[in-house]
Each structure stands twice: as C-alpha cells, then as structure tokens.
C-alpha cells in the first residue's frame, strides 16, 4: 500500500497545486469585485440602479448551490467563448466569493467609527480621501478575521470544481483509485489530510497577520463558514 501512495503522491500534489492556483485566482476575483461592491454599497449613491443590481447579485450568488453555478458558468460561457473548465471555475467560484466578501468588507467598513470619517471631512479631506486614508486601512484589518473564514471555505469549495472536470486534488484522488484497485480509504484520507494541512497553514498565517496589524483597541472574530 505504501508504494502505491508513494508513487502516486506526485499526482496528488499536482492536484493540490491546481487547487491552490484556482483558490488564489478565485480569491483575487472575489477581493476585487467584492471590495468594489462593498465600497459602492457603503459610500455609493443611494439610487435604485446601483442598489438593485447589487442586491440581485448577492441574492443569486449566495442562494444558488456552487455546483449549479459552476455548471452555469461552464455551459453558459462556452456558448459565447470556448472556455476551459478551469477558467469557468475561477469565474463561478470567484463571483460567488465576491458576494460573500462584499458582505465581509461592508461590515468591516461600517465598523469604522463614523465619527472618524466626520473628523476627516471636517479637516478638509475629500470623501474619497477619507475613504482611502481612514476607512479602508482600518476596514482591511477588521476584515481579516472573517476573511480567513472565507479563505478556509473557498479552499474546500475548490474540490467542487471536480464536477466540471477540473483536475484538482479530489479528482486526482479519484483517478488514482480507479487506476489502482482498492486503497480507497487511504487515498481519500491522504487527500483530506492535504486539505487539512493547507487549511491550518493558511489559518495560522492569517491569524498572525491579523494579530500583527490589528488596530490597537479592537478585537473581532466573526463566525461564518
């Protein structure tokens, strides 16, 4: 059994690599889009043609199961452009992450004491400057805790890219099992352990980051998936 594991471990690593690249890409999409949405929601114009699309976006991407979203992006986009399953996964998971991240960022921005913003404006800063220099720096730190939860969740969600054919860690595990009779429990256990370890490393990294850059006098850890 050990030799099966040893000879196939590189494949698992390859799968993990794919998963991590997918993770990084989707989180990047999520941060960019999520931040934009959050800023719009907190500081943007309170007009229906801004509020409503955002509301619908969040509702849809938080209310539809990941697998369905992946299928939609894969089949929907390949009609328009020949998209690979990997790219479809990045977009599908990324947009969904944006929906969750926008809520994290919105909460974080709103945690910044409004009085500080008022003070900044009173001293002559433009709204944009106040946002950039007062709200965002603090908001980012408040967001780190919940964002770490999001990181954990998305790491596990990359496994679902399996359904549109992305050869990430879980699919690699399945390939190994089909090509080598048996050892199912062990292979899945090893794959699970790999997710677990990466998760722990990531959490520990972000936790220390959060502690190092925390705004003095604040402490926050929200519970979410």
Here's the x/- map for another protein, 176-195, by CB under 8 A: it reads as -x----x-xx--xx-xxx-x
Among 51, 174, 180, 207, interactor with another protein by CB under 8 A: 174
Among 8, 85, 159, 172, interactor with another protein by CB under 8 A: 159
The torsion defined by the Cα of 184, 187, 189 and 193, in degrees rounded to 10, comes to -170
Q: Is 60 one of the binding residues for another protein (CB under 8 A)?
A: yes
Contacts within 8 Å (CB) and 24+ apart, 119-128: 127/43
User: How many Å apart are CA 205 and CA 76, to the nearest integer?
Assistant: 37
For the chain, how are helix, strand and coil distributed in percent, rounded to 5?
A: 85, 0, 15
Q: Is 48 one of the binding residues for another protein (CB under 8 A)?
A: no
Among 42, 54, 69, 88, interactor with another protein by CB under 8 A: 69
Residues in the chain: 225
Among 17, 208, 209, 225, interactor with another protein by CB under 8 A: 225
Contact present, 197 and 169 (Cβ < 8 Å)? no
Q: Is 199 one of the binding residues for another protein (CB under 8 A)?
A: yes
Cα-trace Rg, the chain: 21
Instruction: Give the shortest CB-135-to-another protein separation in angstroms.
Output: 24
Contact present, 97 and 28 (Cβ < 8 Å)? no
Among 6, 48, 79, 114, interactor with another protein by CB under 8 A: 79
Among 160, 166, 167, 176, interactor with another protein by CB under 8 A: 160
Among 4, 40, 66, 125, interactor with another protein by CB under 8 A: 66
CA distances from 30 to 36, 38, 152 (A): 10, 11, 14
109 φ, ψ (degrees, to nearest 5) = -65, -40
Total number of residues that touch another protein (CB under 8 A): 41
User: How many Å apart are CA 202 and CA 196, to the nearest integer?
Assistant: 10
Instruction: Give the shortest CB-158-to-another protein separation in angstroms.
Output: 8
Residues that bind another protein (CB under 8 A): 59-60, 63-69, 71-72, 75-76, 79, 152, 156-160, 162-163, 170, 173-174, 177, 182, 184-185, 188-189, 191-193, 195-196, 199-200, 223-225
């Amino acid at each position: 059994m050990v030799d099966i594991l040893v000879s196939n471990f590189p494949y698992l690593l390859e799968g993990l690599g794919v998963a991590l690249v997918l993770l990084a890409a989707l989180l990047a999409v999520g941060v960019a889009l999520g931040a934009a949405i959050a800023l719009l929601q907190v500081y943007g114009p309170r007009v229906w043609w801004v509020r409503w699309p955002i509301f619908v976006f969040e509702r849809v991407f938080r209310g539809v199961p990941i697998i369905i979203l992946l299928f939609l992006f894969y089949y929907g986009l390949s009609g328009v452009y020949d998209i690979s399953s990997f790219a479809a996964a990045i977009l599908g998971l990324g947009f969904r992450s944006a929906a969750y991240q926008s809520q994290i960022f919105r909460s974080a921005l709103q945690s910044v004491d409004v009085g500080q913003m008022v003070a900044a404006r009173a001293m002559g800063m433009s709204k944009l400057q106040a946002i950039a220099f007062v709200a965002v720096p603090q908001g980012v730190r408040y967001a780190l805790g919940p964002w770490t939860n999001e990181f954990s969740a998305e790491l596990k969600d990359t496994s679902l890219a399996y359904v549109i054919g992305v050869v990430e860690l879980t699919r690699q595990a399945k390939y190994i099992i089909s090509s080598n009779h048996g050892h199912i429990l062990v292979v899945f256990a090893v794959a699970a352990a790999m997710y677990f370890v990466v998760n722990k490393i990531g959490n520990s990294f972000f936790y220390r980051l959060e502690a190092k850059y925390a705004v003095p006098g604040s402490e926050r850890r929200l519970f979410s998936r």
